[in-house]
Amino acid sequence: MPALTGWSLTASVFKTLEMLAAVTTPLIGIVIGYEIQWQRTNLAAPLRTIGVRLAIWVTAGILFNALVVSRLFPGDVTIQAAVMTLFVLPPPFVIPLFMRNAPVDDQAYVVNTLSLATIATLVAFTAVTLVFPA
């Protein structure tokens, strides 16, 4: 990277990307939290969805690690951890943007599911780091 950061134009691009990276997480939090509706009646369906989604994706990740990754890269837990991280990522945050004309109940369901999935993903990331220590 020294060859790229040594030139003032590319150094400024990298500095701009660093500043954008620093504000990305708080902006995602604001966007998700803006529309969230925390009511017990609104949480049952999103929690079921997240549970089923994680059960399917974690099972798929374990099978993929066991059948493919461990055979291609025997003993490399870093790649296995990366694969599991990929499989537990939350759904895309842009979904509500495509729901402008959807009923309010559907929008609330999607926003609550995305918000709760983000929390579940943080827990899953912690589990991945415990199962696959670097």
Spacing of C-alpha 51 from chain mean position:
15
pLDDT at 2: 65
> Could you tell me the pLDDT band of residue 55, with boundaries at 50, 70 and 90?
very high
For the chain, state the CA radius of gyration. Answer: 19
Helix (H) or strand (E) holding 102: none
The model's confidence at residue 83, banded by pLDDT at 50, 70 and 90, is: very high
Per-residue confidence (pLDDT) for residue 64, from 0 to 100 = 96
The per-residue pLDDT for 89 is: 92
Confidence of residue 36 (pLDDT cuts 50, 70, 90): low
For the entire predicted model, the pTM comes to: 0.70
**Is residue 65 a contact partner of residue 82, using CB atoms and an 8 Å limit?**
no
